[in-house]
Structure 1
Amino acid sequence: MASHPLMFDSVWRDQQKYEDAERVYRQHLSGVKSTTTQSAQDNKPASGSSLKNEIAQARQHIQNFLSSGSSASGSDEQVMKRVETLEKENKELKKVVDDMRALVQRLEGRVSSLEKGTGTAAPASTNKPTPAATANGDDDDDDDDIDLFGSDEEEDAEAARIREERLAEYAKKKAGKKAIIAKSSLLLDVKPWDDETDMKVLEQEVRKITCDGLIWGASKFIPVGYGIKKLQINCVIEDDKVSTDFLEEEITAIEEYVQSMDVAAFNKI
């Protein structure tokens, strides 16, 4: 073991004592007695006791130093253990974050498909293990196979079944319900050019106008004045097929007999 520096401090502090002891020894060899001999002898027990105390203190310093070194080593071991624990926790947190990111991606895919109304399943997670990895025994990503929200295929099949049932019920109701056709009843006034116009021929020409959704009804001749009469004729039309503009164009096209046409009455049926 290397000597501790404190072990030699007392030698330099007691230099004077050693020099006195050496001087007494030389005087003893020469046969000369000195008064300092007695004092040196008197101080000898004290010097020896002081040296023992200093040696004990030095040993205590060494032990303290060694104990402090061992405690420092123990502290380093605790720090290393703490670092390893933090690294492990960091890996676990990273795995949790990756799982949450994959889950969010699946949810975004499902929401986008629902918004588009396509009814397609959400895209599979990209973290799902490949067949090669499964064959090699890589089971680290088993958690990715767990479907937290049920099977998308089962939900799609159920939604399709419900949609088909509703469509069938709607078609059945629509087939059993009689379609309502909007119709109107018109009373038309057809005026001739003068009193010499043959009103019967005029009426025949008007009734020759035929089309789908037009039915002619009763008619009569009403005097206007100065021997002139007008044809007042009733007809029923389907609003989606025949319009008043169509009737006016067709009737006024009979230019030889017809001067004008007016709608005297218009009623919805």
Structure 2
Amino acid sequence: MATTLAADRFWVDKANFHNAERQYYEFLNKEGTAANSQCTLVSEIAKAREHIKNSLEKMDGITTLTSSPVSGEVLDRVAAIEKDNADLRKLVESLKSVCLETQNRITALEKKVNTELSGAVSANPIPAPAAKAAPVKVAAEEDDDDVDLFGSEEEEDDEAVRIREERLAAYAAKKSKKPQIIAKSSLILDVKPWDDETDLKVMETEIRKIETDGLLWGASKFVPVAFGIQKLSISCVVEDDKVSIDWLTEEIEKLEDYVQSVDVAAFNKI
């Protein structure tokens, strides 16, 4: 009986039990490590998918932005800028042609005046040195000769005076026949109306009715100012001795029903 009880209290398979328990826990640890690795891989795949999705959304936004039509306001502003640019180019070309024409006329007039002056000087030499030489010669001979030379001296002086007066009269007559150079000025006037309801065509017609000797109206155009208001830009040529710029601007400002103010945009001598 005692021997049986002793055998029951002794754990014969204890080593095998501990070995099996150790293997069980090692198995559990391996499963947990594999599960963690699998979770990490899944999260990385999810991040990659989210990144690809965001990139595609950004590309769609860029495509939509580039393919969207330009607003009408931007197109209107671009058209207005292009129109102003074209008007400025036309104005510059017209001013350039006027300047070139003026330069050519001045060059031709200078050549003509220089040619006429050189011809007049060569045709009418100044006789002053010859008139002065005669008294010196007479004074030198007076010391050596007792002959009375006063009579011949008076005759020679009268002859020199007569010749000189004839030549001066001929030169004055020739000079009086030369055409006089008329000084002129080219103007560009900016005429501003009261508001956008003013009829600019009627205003231009009334301005062109201002007529006087020495005034010649030229080309005109309507230039945008702001808020739908336009101004009249009109050119003219005036003779400086006959037409005053102050008088012309005052005459235009008298059209009070149409004209608010007048400014001289450009002034050139011709």
Q: What TM bracket, shorter-length normalisation?
A: 0.3 to 0.5
Q: Greater helix percent: which structure?
A: 2
Which protein, 1 or 2, shows the higher relative CO under an 8 Å CA cutoff with sep ≥ 6? 2
Tell which structure's C-alpha radius of gyration is larger. 1
TM-score of the two chains, using structure 1 as the length reference? 0.42
